[in-house]
Amino acid sequence: MSAFGRAMRDRREQLGWTQRDLAGRAFLNPGYVAKLERGTRNPSREVAEVLDRVLDAGGSLAALVNAPRREPSPPMLTSADVEGLHGQIRALVADDITHGADGLWRRAGREFRRAHEALAAGRFPDAHRADLHAAVGELGEVAGWLAYDAGRPEVGRRLMTDALLVSQLAGDAAMEGLQLNLLALLAQEAGRYAEALALADRGLALAPPGGRVEAMHRLRRGRALASLGSAEGLGELSRARALLDGGGRSGEPAWSWWVSPQELALHQGQGHAALGEFGRAVEWSGVAVDMLPAAQRRDRAVYLSRHAGHLLGVRDWSSVELVAGELGPLLDAAGSGRVRGEVAGVVQVARRVGAPGRVVDALTAVAAA
E strand spans, 38-146:
none
The helix or strand, by DSSP H or E, that contains position 54, with its residue range, turns out to be helix 45-54
Domain ranges, ordered by start, for the chain? 3-64, 291-369
CATH class of 3-64: mainly alpha
Is 137 within 8 Å of 167 (Cβ atoms)? yes
Q: Show pLDDT as tens, one digit a residue, over the chain (369 residues).
A: 788 999 999 999 999 999 999 998 998 998 999 999 998 888 988 899 899 999 999 888 888 886 555 555 556 778 888 999 999 999 998 888 777 888 889 999 999 998 888 888 887 788 888 999 999 999 999 999 999 999 999 999 999 999 999 999 999 999 999 999 999 999 999 999 999 999 999 999 999 998 899 999 999 999 999 999 999 999 999 999 999 887 767 788 888 888 899 999 999 999 999 999 999 999 999 999 999 998 888 899 999 999 999 999 999 999 999 999 999 888 876 778 888 999 999 999 999 999 999 999 999 999 987
119, 184, 331 from 219: Cα distances, Å? 34, 10, 26
Dist CA 69 CA 55 (whole Å): 19
Cα(94)–Cα(218) distance, integer angstroms: 29
Helices (H), 171-210: 173-189, 193-206
Global confidence as pTM: 0.79
